[in-house]
A and B are shown apart, each in its own frame.
Chain A
Amino acid sequence: MTFEPGQQLDPQSYVVTRGDLVRYAGASGDFNPIHWSDRVAASVGLPGVIAHGMYTLALAGRALTTWVGDPARVISVGARFTKPVVVPDDDVGTTVEVTGVVSSVDDGVAKIDLTVTSAGVKVLGMSKAAVRC
């Protein structure tokens, strides 16, 4: 697809369950127990088990891939992990929403500002991507 400055990209909504975090731990190799053990999460002062920051960024990358079609077009993507995404040990999980807006298009490169929220709270900061048009 082509990008125009100011263009709003289709919002994406993803459900995250505790089981997804366990799968992601295995897939990524990040077995930090704060992402699967309530006991360890509590011991370091967290409100509960939280998603890997990289899980949330992977969802932003999934949305970006949906928008651009071919991820080979992506030049860069990144974010700050500003708020934890608490994932309860139930069958419902929590929902992460990803929206994007094209902030500029210059020299064949579109800059995209992503907004990633969970339970109405922005969980990633400075979430930006650059893609080839």
Chain B
Amino acid sequence: MALDPGLAGRTFAPTAAYAVSREKVAEFAAAIGAAPLDDGEQASLTFPIVVAFQAMTGLMTDPDVGIELHHVIHVDQRFEQTRPIRAGDRLTGTLTIDSMRHGAGVDMISTRTEVATTDGGHVATAYATLAYREGPA
């Protein structure tokens, strides 16, 4: 069944505060083989995905949406960066569905997640398009 097109324009509740640690910054850098930045205090360029992905998970598991991750294809991703993430930041992600399209059995969901510190400082905007196709588990 296609998703409710009325979801377009909806903004979801912010994700729970995510405390960025030196350890998580190092783990992310190591996973992509990158050298530490600023003595390990500064996160990799695409680190905002950690919070944005939590926001996307919130979207997928929302009772009004309810789609399984392995039926979802990440179509595109873009970041606009205000400043790099640093160890010690406490971050939340607030996702808005910018638009929805349905065609050929696929729902295309365009999302925007504002990643900010818990005191409201903007860090990055993460734009993602997700394609959802229902199918056998």
Contact = CB atoms under 8 A, between A and B. Distances in A.
Interface of A: 14, 20, 23-24, 26-34, 40, 43-44, 52-55, 57-59, 61-62, 64-65, 71-72, 74-81, 126
B31 A26 contact: yes
Q: Main SS of the interface on chain A?
A: helix
A105 B12 CA distance: 38
B136 A43 contact: yes
Contacts of B57: 29
Interface string B18-31: 00000010011011
Interface of B: 24, 27-28, 30-34, 37, 42, 44-46, 49-50, 53-54, 57, 69-81, 83-84, 127, 135-137
Contacts of A43: 136-137
Contacts of B37: 65, 71
A62 B77 contact: no
A37 to B, nearest CB: 9
Contacts of A71: 37, 42, 44-45, 81, 84
B34 A62 contact: yes
Contacts of B137: 43
Contacts of B72: 32
B32 A126 contact: no
